[in-house]
Structure 1
Amino acid sequence: MFDKPGNALLSPGDFVRHGDRPDWGLGQIQSIAGHRITVNFENAGKVVIDGNVIELQPADLPRP
C-alpha cells in the first residue's frame, strides 16, 4: 500500500507526469514493485520513483 493514495490506482502501461518535474515530460509506467514505480520519461529516461514520497499524476491524453 502506498502512502500517496493516487499511486495505488496506477498500473504498468499507464501514462503519467511527475508534478514536481514537468521538464521530464510524459512518462509510461514500466513496473511497480512494492512502493517502487519504474517510469520511462520522454526527457529523463528510466527513473525509479518512491511511491510513498512522490504522487504521480495520471496524464490526460487525447483520444484518437
Structure 2
Amino acid sequence: MFTDFVPGVFVTHPGEPDWGIGQVQSAVGHRVTVNFENAGKRTINTGVIDLRVVTEDETTLPHH
C-alpha cells in the first residue's frame, strides 16, 4: 500500500471510478483529502481504501 500521499499527487479511488482522477490536497495520518474531477473534495481513510497513484502520463486533468 502506498502511504506517502502528499499534496499534488494524483490518485484514483478503486471503488469509485466515476469520480475520475483526484489530486491530493492534504494528508494527516490515514486521512487524505482529495479533490476529484467529478466528485469534488472527499476525505478518504487510506487505512480502509487503497487509493491508486496515477502516473503523470495517465493524468487527463486540464492544466490551467
What is residue 4 of structure 2 aligned with on the other side?
Answer: 9
Q: Per-residue deviation at 1:62?
A: 2.0
Matched residue SS, 1:23: helix
What is residue 42 of structure 1 aligned with on the other side?
Answer: 37
- Answer yes or no: is 1:21 the counterpart of 2:48: no
Where does structure 2 lack aligned partners over 5 or more consecutive residues? 59-64
* TM-score, normalising length: structure 2: 0.81
The count of residues paired between Structure 1 and Structure 2 equals 58
Distance in 2 separating the partners of 1:9 and 1:32:
9
* TM-score, normalising length: structure 1: 0.81
Matched residue SS, 1:46: strand
Q: Per-residue deviation at 1:51?
A: 1.0
Where does structure 1 lack aligned partners over 5 or more consecutive residues? none
- Answer yes or no: is 1:55 the counterpart of 2:55: no
Superposition RMSD in Å = 1.5
